[in-house]
A and B are shown apart, each in its own frame.
Chain A
Amino acid sequence: MGLESRGGPAWLTTRAETFVNWARGNSLWPMAFGTACCAIELMAAMVARYDLARFGSEVVRFSPRQSDLLIVAGRISAKMMPVLETIYRQMPEPKWVIAMGACASTGGEFDTYAVIQGVDQFIPVDVYVPGCPPRPEALIEAVMRVKELIGRERLSDYRAPDGASPV
């Protein structure tokens, strides 16, 4: 049909944007920020039975500088929020954030003086996962949603330090 039919199976053509998004979406390195019971389900999603590695997200980085997907798993107290902010700011662009569970998304049942009522008040959240705690399948679904978001990324939305577009 196109160029592929002439070049054989060894190569094919695509757009740079699609290729970059395909590569990013299939090699997400999560930064696990587990502060409560959601972290247990997060661990369950990583290990053999649910095996998030099938979707390219097996390299859990506890260094924010090496990760591109922040998973906020658990309630965030007002005392913890500066830590979460620091970690979010340390992550290199492009980066995505999952608010896992009721507490990270809304404060959950902890409507008290100490607990942040949803981390989206202070850092941008891409995908919310309902549940208390969510099952591993729900977290995997959230990672799939992040991959969908990555698939819609436009390189022209990014700006170099001097303001120039990279494409």
Chain B
Amino acid sequence: MNQPRADSIVQHVRTKFAGALRGATVHRGELTLVVARERVLDVLAFLRDDESLRFDFPIDLAAVDYRDHPRREFPERFAVIYHLLSTATEERLRVKAPVPEDDPVCPSAVGLWSLANWTEREVFDMFGIRFDGHPDLRRILMWEEFEHHPLRKDYPLRGLGERDRYTVVRDDFPQAARSRRQEPAARSSAERGPG
């Protein structure tokens, strides 16, 4: 996307959503819009349906934790990020919706694209951002009993012991207990030292 085209898209969105558009950048030909989360569904619907834009295909929906980020564009800790593709013009567009840490809620885009269903579940699972209006907001990657949101920057890479807390199999089949075979020794990662 060249600069004049990017400028015209930004202008087009700004005239429609004056207060909602918080910023726009072009980096290496990629246009990114920063939109207030309260209006993000309206902006996405406009980008999808406007005759000159037609960003109709949501390539991906993700999130970023900007905690300790050296060059933050906005004060909010999280941002939900929509990657859109126009099948009409083959242009791509990124939309960021900042989400604050003390109220991690974002409106659900499932009503616009049903493709958003599982990707929003993944964002919820990994970042703990809840999606208002999502029909089935459950964890999708981690198991149900998992208590944390592992892609948050304050969650340690090696976890909080979940991987060691699994119940050890007892070799207790009644028909043949092998006396010479030893029980597997439960050991924690801490004992094994850094991997």
Contact = CB atoms under 8 A, between A and B. Distances in A.
A78 interface: yes
17 contacts: A78-B162, A78-B163, A81-B166, A82-B166, A85-B169, A88-B169, A89-B173, A106-B195, A112-B159, A114-B163, A121-B184, A121-B186, A122-B168, A124-B183, A158-B176, A158-B178, A160-B175
B174 interface: yes
Contacts of A89: 169, 173
A46 to B, nearest CB: 27
Contacts of B178: 93-94, 157-158
A159 B171 CA distance: 13
Contacts of A124: 171, 181-184
Contacts of A82: 166
B107 interface: no
Nearest to B148: A113
Interface residues of A, number: 30
B53 to A, nearest CB: 39
Interface stretch (B18-26, B111-119, B150-158): B150-158
A79 interface: yes
Contacts of A121: 164, 166, 168, 184-187
A132 interface: no
Interface string A80-93: 01100100110001
A159 B176 contact: yes
Interface in B102-138: none
B27 interface: no
A94 B176 contact: yes
B96 to A, nearest CB: 26
Interface of B: 141-143, 150, 155-160, 162-164, 166-169, 171, 173-187, 189, 192, 194-195
B169 A122 contact: yes
Contacts of A78: 143, 162-163, 166
A123 interface: yes
A93 B176 CA distance: 7
A153 to B, nearest CB: 9
A79 B169 contact: no
Interface of A: 78-79, 81-82, 85, 88-89, 93-94, 106-107, 111-117, 120-125, 154, 157-161
Given A107-B195, A117-B163, A122-B166, A159 B177 contact: yes
Interchain residue pairs A-B with the least CB separation, the first 4: A113-B159, A111-B195, A93-B176, A79-B143
Contact of B195 (A114, A117, A159): A117
Contacts of A117: 163-164, 189, 192, 195
A93 B173 contact: yes
B188 to A, nearest CB: 9
A42 B176 CA distance: 29
B169 A113 contact: no
Contacts of B160: 113
Given A78-B143, A89-B173, A94-B176, 19 more contacts: A85-B167, A93-B175, A111-B194, A112-B159, A113-B162, A113-B163, A114-B150, A114-B163, A116-B163, A121-B168, A121-B186, A122-B166, A122-B167, A122-B169, A157-B178, A157-B179, A158-B178, A159-B176, A161-B175
B16 to A, nearest CB: 43
Contacts of B173: 89, 93
